[in-house]
Structure formats: C-alpha cells, structure tokens
Amino acid sequence: MNAIISASELAGALAGENPPVVLDVRWQLSVAKAAGEPPFDGRAAHASGHVPGAVYVDLDRELAGASGAGGRHPLPDLADFGAAMRRAGVSASRPVVVYDGGQGWAAARAWWLLRWTGHPDVRVLDGGLTAWQGELSVEIPAPPEGDFAPRPGAAGLLDADAAAALARSGVLFDARAGERYRGEVEPIDRVGGHIPGAVSAPTTDNVGPDGRFLPAEDLRDRFTALGASGGSEVGVYCGSGVSGAHEVLALAVAGIPAALYVGSWSEWSSDPSRPVAVGPEPR
C-alpha cells in the first residue's frame, strides 16, 4: 500500500462504497511571535473550509503529550490518543486519509502514530489541502464513534539510547535544516548541533516546489546516497518528532522502513550529559 494519496485519488475514494475517514491536522510550529501576532489556530482554519467530511485533529493536544523532559512533542497517552481517534470516527475497518496545510509534517505525525499503533490503512494527502481541487466545506462534521484501539508496535520507535546506538551501527538521519544540524543556529532548543554519527538529511529535500513528494525512485536514490543501503537499519529524528515523521513517510514512499526517535533534538539537547557534535560531518 502506498503511504500517500493524490487529491484526485482521494476525491474518487470519497465517492466510493467505503470512503475513508479524513483527518484535518493543520498545524504550525509555535515559536516566538512578534508582539501582538496571534498564534496559528488550526481549528479556526478548519472551520473556514476543509475537505468535506474531514474532522479536525489537534496535533499539540491529541497527537502529543505535554512538553517536558521527553521533548516538545512526546508520545501522547495512548488511551487519550485512542479516544481522540474514535471521536474522529476512526475504525480499523475503514481507511484513513490525513492532510494538513501543505507542509506535510503534521499529517505525517498522524500517519506515523496511527501506523505505529496498528491501523492497517493510512495515507497522507500528497501536497496537503493546497492540492485539493474540490469544493471546501464549512460544516463541522459529527462522525459516528469509531472502534480504533491503539496497539503499539514493537518496531518503529527509538528512544535516546537507541538513537545513539543506531547512529553507530546503522543510519540515523537528522531531518532538520542543515544550519541547525551544523550548530550554526538554534532558534528553539538549548544548544545547537546533532547527535554524534547522525547524517544530515533535511526534510525539505524530500519534496518539490509544490510541496508534493519527489518520485519514489528519486527518493530512493537520495536516501541510498546518504547511506540507507545494504539492508542497514534506519532511524530519523528532528526537533521534536514532527518533521522527522515526514522523513519516515518519505522513506516509506521510497520503500525503506525507518524508525522515529520521537523525543528528537528537543529531548536529546535538554540533557547536558549527552554528547553534541557540530559541523558538517556526522562526528
């Protein structure tokens, strides 16, 4: 099963006999704003227009736990996550399509969580809402309760120690911007740099100018050139486990399984005892 779906394919699926549950996960990273500038309101964006039938899901409240020692977007409480998905109408027997505003990061976080907790059929709308050509709805849906029960998988998740070990034994990709990887700037976390041994692989290089993923073959060539070849175990981290999920999705499109370090740099850098590498080289 392909991990992404085009807008035309989604339109066809919505008109079919078993239409997917559609989740709207529009979100933007909350960073310091200019005085008086309101934060992004995904729920308001949803209310102003969404794919017909799409249910809004709040990344910060429903796809992540409280910010703290585990990072800015740690795993949510699984009971709470399951309840949120059931409220949104998610059932194991119905496919799910997730979209965001076009960047793909938030949608990928929902995709990764649903896949990691056992949903068999989840895809991300390639290009997000900006790719959707159909009409938008302002009607807030009230779907029937779903039956999805999260059952976390044994694979696909890294903690800090496992990420450090993978950087030595396999391939650990850093999905952040290159300047953050090199430690030249760090706008959010305590210190700049990267996990020793990690390879710089910015998420932005996985998509074209329109925000859609590059062809699978091009993605495969990219990751192979960066070291994901020969059956090596692959992992990904980013700032807080959101854009890293997008890289895991890109790897899935390329046919390369990968695990996600959810705590990512926000967790790693908060512990002064953990080593930090700077510069363009992994070590």
Predicted pLDDT of residue 30: 60
pLDDT digits (tens, 9 = 90+) for 6-64: 999 999 999 999 999 999 999 987 654 545 667 889 999 999 999 999 999 999 999 99
pLDDT tens profile 83-131: 999 999 999 999 999 999 998 999 999 999 999 999 999 999 999 999 9
User: Is-catalytic flag, 249?
Assistant: no
Could you tell me the pTM of the whole model? 0.95
Q: Give pLDDT tens digits for 140-162.
A: 999 999 999 999 986 799 999 99
Task: Give the model's pLDDT for residue 32.
Answer: 44
Q: So what's the pLDDT on residue 169? A: 96
Give how far Cα 282 sits from Cα of 12, 267, 270, Å.
45, 19, 20
If pLDDT is split at 50, 70 and 90, which confidence band does 230 have?
confident
Of residues 129, 238, 250, 251, which has the active-site annotation? 238
